[in-house]
Amino acid sequence: PLAVEIANYLSRHYRERITLDDLSRETYFSVAYCESEFKKAYCKSIIQYLIDIRISEAKALLVETSLSCSVIAEMVGFDDANYFSRIFKKRIGFSPLQYRNTVFELNKSPL
pLDDT tens digits for range 20-75:
999 999 999 999 999 999 999 999 999 999 999 999 999 999 999 999 999 999 99
The answer to whether the pTM exceeds 0.75 is yes
Q: For position 59, what pLDDT does the model report?
A: 96
Determine the Cα–Cα distance for residues 61 and 44; give it in Å rounded to an integer. 24
pLDDT tens digits for range 75-108:
999 999 999 999 999 999 999 999 999 988 887 7
DSSP 68: -
**For residue 71, how many C-alpha atoms fall within 13 Å in the half-sphere facing its CB?**
6
Determine the Cα–Cα distance for residues 80 and 12; give it in Å rounded to an integer. 21
Determine the Cα–Cα distance for residues 42 and 60; give it in Å rounded to an integer. 23
Determine the Cα–Cα distance for residues 50 and 67; give it in Å rounded to an integer. 22
